[in-house]
């Protein structure tokens, strides 16, 4: 049967398949969003990866420079009391320990102090740890012996850290290497903070779940969910804000760290980066510094319970601050010990024994607090001549200085007591001061005070206070004159009488003596000893003001000096440290030794970058300097400085000079003993009169200080071209032994007087001083 063919209905139009453009648009949008997000994520990961690598592979930390005092050397015969030595050990953070098990420990028994010194890398060599017994007697150290009773000639102690130069962000750390870190510390961290550290990829889902369960059981936060890698990412790159975006960045950076670096590198960075406390304005980072901060000991010397305490701080240094919340810290430490036992890193017995031990935290931080800001200011200024600021605050330099902390402490105590005393006994109020102390033989600065109160932000008067120096300039005038031995000797007679000097501007200058009296013809020695202004001016005008200014330059003054007649009486202004340099040349017998505060600079790796060797050169005639020093000894015996011998033995040979400026606005004293030179200035910052002379103000301060620190008298050694002669001091002529009052005086060869005194009778031919003819009216 044939199939029928259907005739299409002309009215029928088949339906066309309808497209769904909305469905395609949605799918395309999703794809585009996915591509955009992938691109953003890719860029974000690239950005994070760049930041992670740049910091992790570059210079990770800005390590502040550490500044050390001059190391103390111990030897038999040293004048050091047990009390002073114990004070030094406290500065060095040594701990009492009957067994002397670790470095930096000591034990006191009667007149003995037994100690185990610390090993220390100095600029010139490494000092190894030693077990020693220091025996004391009435005069100081009698002997130093080792465990086999052999005498030790000299011991160099590790130096006191006196400060640091910090970068803008005040973070401090002592870098440690993973292989040098106590194994028990690593195990404590793994047990407490990240048990899966060596298995996860930067984040641990198992760790997060375990922490949540532990927190729920304890009803509070007892475990953290962040891995060590996440903690490193947070501390190293991010802030501590609690936001989702910060947590996402932490996770991404942790993944990148794990991808880029080994577990060894991550763990070592963590040990040095983790924040563990606050030392004033400075943040304590890393376990190396935290060990010193809390226990005053190196990390390698800590025991189990101390290491567990440091691990306990990781969870929150403020919350578990052992000085503020010891009970809370103890509880957290014991939990760390339990976790270590649970992981079988230690036995239960070890954990129980450690839990019974007290915290033994140092009662206060003993890290360097920049206790001597005036001296540190000087150190930094000297360093800036050779180093950039960034190098000083971020390269971990070790700077060894010349400061003696015991002298510096004695200086500050002396100023506190003496200034209060001076303000009570006189009309002086609001006194300020500056003091510089150097070692006479080397020019090294042993101590420096920038004011009566040492503050980091204060005005450093020792370096910056420009004040007229008054009679402190006079030794330069006499030193200049004595270089002309055919005209001037120590006993040459000069006129101390009124004088008027015509000045270039048409005015006149008429100086006066301090007592407003004239004293007739006097010897050079008397004129300087009594600080007579009129005689000094006559001498200075004769040899030339410019020549005196040249002598000041030769003595170490680099500042421009105004060549006016008033220079002869100290109208020119200098800073205390410049005066110190001037008198250092006198103390050096005419040889210029630049005063210095730094001995060496050592890089973080131990390489010596800079040394500051002893430098000396002849600046002025040693023979003339010897004569001036002899005259300055007379100043102290029979002149303006005689009160010093109320405290010192008469044969101590002190060399010094007082100085007072107009209206008693400044009180100065500069002088030296056999071992130290000190310059003292007293005055007011507003330049008002203080009513104190050099003798009544600065000298008592100098005397009180030097009595504590000086152990050597002055012995002046005459040069070969100096000879002595017996002279009648009343006229400067030769005398014999029968001449009453005759004294031995030193002279340059060829300048000894030739005429003889009649000793007690009128001199046959009275010496007529040529100055009188020159200035007679």
Six-digit token string for 39: 């691109």
Task: Say how far apart CA 542 and CA 771 lie, in whole Å.
Answer: 9
Q: Do residues 450 and 461 make contact, with C-beta atoms less than 8 angstroms apart?
A: yes
Of 61, 55, 457, residue with least CA distance to 289: 61
Beta bridge partners of 401: 598
| Cβ-proximal residues to 420 (8 Å cutoff; 6+ apart), any chain | none
List the catalytic residue out of 103, 171, 192, 193: 193
Rounded to whole angstroms, how far apart are CA atoms 305 and 300? 13
- C-alpha 117, offset from chain centre: 23
Sequence-distant (6+) residues with CB within 8 A of 510 are 498, 499, 500, 501
What whole-number distance in Å separates Cα of residue 535 and Cα of residue 523? Answer: 9
Beta bridge partners of residue 508, listed in sequence order: 502
> Which residues pair with residue 126 across a beta bridge?
121
Residue with tokens 């060590």: 228
CB 650 within 8 A of CB 702: no
C-beta of residue 673 within 8 angstroms of C-beta of residue 712: yes
Nearest-angstrom CA–CA distance, 689 and 693: 10
Q: How far is it, in rounded angstroms, from Cα 78 to Cα 588?
A: 24
Active-site option among 450, 471, 623, 710: 471
Query: Are 698 and 668 within 8 A, CB to CB?
Result: yes
Alpha helices in 491-532 (DSSP H): 524-529
Question: For 275-402, where are the alpha helices, taking DSSP H only?
Answer: 287-295, 304-313, 326-342, 348-355, 373-383, 389-394
Catalytic residue status for 471: yes
- Using a 10 angstrom Cβ sphere, with 0-12 exposed, 13-18 middle and 19 or more buried, the burial of residue 222 is middle
> Are the CB atoms for 576 and 436 separated by under 8 Å?
yes
Active site residue 193: yes
Structure letter (DSSP) for residue 333:
H
Q: Classify residue 396 as left (phi > 0), alpha (psi -120 to 50) or beta.
A: left
3-state secondary structure of 35: helix
Q: In the chain, how many H helices and how many E strands?
A: 23, 33
Catalytic residue IDs? 193, 471
């Amino acid at each position: 049967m044939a199939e029928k063919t259907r005739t299409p209905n002309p009215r029928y139009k088949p339906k066309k398949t309808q497209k769904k453009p909305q469905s395609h648009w949605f799918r395309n949008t999703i794809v585009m969003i996915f591509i955009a997000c992938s691109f953003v994520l890719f860029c974000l990961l690239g950005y994070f990866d760049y930041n992670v690598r740049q910091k992790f592979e570059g210079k990770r930390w800005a390590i502040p420079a550490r500044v050390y005092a001059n190391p103390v050397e111990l030897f038999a015969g040293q004048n050091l009391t047990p009390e002073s030595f114990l004070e030094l050990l406290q500065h060095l953070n040594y701990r009492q320990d009957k067994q002397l098990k670790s470095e930096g420990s000591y034990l006191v028994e009667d007149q003995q102090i037994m100690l185990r010194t610390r090993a220390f890398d100095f600029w010139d060599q490494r000092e190894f740890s030693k077990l020693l017994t220091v025996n004391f007697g009435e005069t100081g150290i009698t002997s130093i012996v080792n465990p086999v009773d052999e005498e030790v000639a000299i011991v160099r102690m590790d130096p006191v850290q006196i400060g640091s130069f910090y970068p803008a962000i005040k973070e401090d750390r002592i870098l440690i290497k993973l292989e040098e870190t106590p194994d028990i510390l690593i195990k404590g961290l793994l047990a407490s903070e990240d048990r899966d550290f060596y298995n996860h990829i930067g984040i641990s889902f198992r760790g997060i779940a375990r922490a949540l369960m532990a927190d729920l059981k304890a009803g509070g936060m007892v475990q953290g969910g962040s891995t060590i890698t996440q903690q490193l990412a947070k501390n190293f790159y991010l802030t501590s804000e609690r936001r989702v975006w910060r947590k996402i960045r932490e996770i991404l950076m942790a993944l990148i760290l794990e991808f880029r670096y080994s577990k060894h590198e991550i763990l070592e960075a963590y040990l040095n980066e983790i924040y563990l406390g606050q030392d004033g304005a400075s943040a304590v980072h890393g376990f190396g510094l935290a060990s010193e901060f809390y226990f005053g000991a190196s990390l390698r010397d800590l025991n189990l319970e101390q290491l567990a305490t440091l691990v306990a701080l990781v969870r929150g240094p403020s919350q578990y601050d052992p000085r503020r919340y010891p009970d809370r810290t103890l509880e957290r430490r014991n939990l760390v010990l339990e976790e270590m036992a649970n992981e079988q890193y230690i036995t239960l017995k070890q954990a129980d024994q450690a839990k019974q031990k007290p915290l033994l935290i140092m009662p206060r931080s003993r890290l360097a607090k920049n206790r001597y800001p005036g001296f540190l200011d000087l150190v930094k200024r000297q360093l800036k001549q050779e180093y950039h600021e960034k190098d000083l605050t971020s390269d971990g330099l070790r700077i060894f200085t010349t400061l003696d902390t015991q002298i510096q402490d004695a200086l500050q105590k002396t100023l506190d007591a003496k200034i209060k005393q001076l303000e009570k006994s006189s009309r002086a109020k609001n006194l300020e001061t500056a003091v510089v102390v150097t070692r006479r033989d080397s020019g090294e600065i042993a101590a420096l005070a920038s004011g009566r109160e040492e503050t980091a932000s204060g005005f450093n008067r020792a370096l910056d206070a420009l004040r007229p120096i008054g009679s402190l300039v006079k030794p330069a005038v006499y030193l200049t004159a004595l270089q002309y031995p055919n005209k001037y000797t120590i006993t040459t007679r000069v006129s101390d009488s009124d004088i008027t000097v015509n000045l270039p501007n048409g005015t006149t200058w008429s100086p006066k003596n301090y007592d407003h009296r004239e004293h007739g013809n006097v010897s050079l020695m008397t004129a300087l000893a009594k600080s007579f202004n009129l005689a000094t001016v006559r001498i200075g005008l004769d040899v030339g003001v410019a020549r005196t200014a040249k002598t000041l330059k030769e003595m170490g003054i680099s500042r421009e000096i105004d060549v006016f007649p008033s220079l002869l009486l100290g109208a020119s202004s200098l800073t205390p440290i410049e005066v110190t340099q001037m008198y250092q040349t006198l103390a050096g017998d005419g040889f210029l030794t630049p005063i210095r505060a730094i001995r060496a600079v050592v890089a973080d790796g131990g390489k010596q970058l800079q040394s500051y060797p002893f430098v000396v050169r002849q600046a002025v005639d040693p023979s003339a300097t010897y004569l001036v020093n002899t005259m300055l000894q007379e100043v102290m015996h029979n002149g303006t400085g005689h009160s010093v011998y109320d405290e010192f033995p008469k044969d101590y040979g002190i060399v010094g000079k007082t100085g007072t400026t107009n209206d008693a606005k400044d009180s100065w004293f500069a002088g030296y003993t056999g071992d130290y030179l000190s310059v003292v200035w007293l005055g007011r910052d507003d330049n008002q009169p203080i009513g104190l002379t050099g003798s009544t103000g600065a000298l008592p301060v100098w005397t009180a200080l030097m009595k504590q620190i000086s152990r050597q008298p002055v012995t002046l050694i005459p040069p070969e071209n100096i000879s002595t002669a017996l002279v009648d001091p009343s006229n400067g002529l030769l005398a014999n032994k029968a001449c009453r009052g005759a004294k031995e005086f030193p002279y340059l060869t060829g300048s000894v007087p030739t005429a003889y005194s009649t000793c007690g009778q009128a001199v046959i031919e009275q010496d007529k001083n040529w100055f009188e003819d020159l200035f007679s009216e």
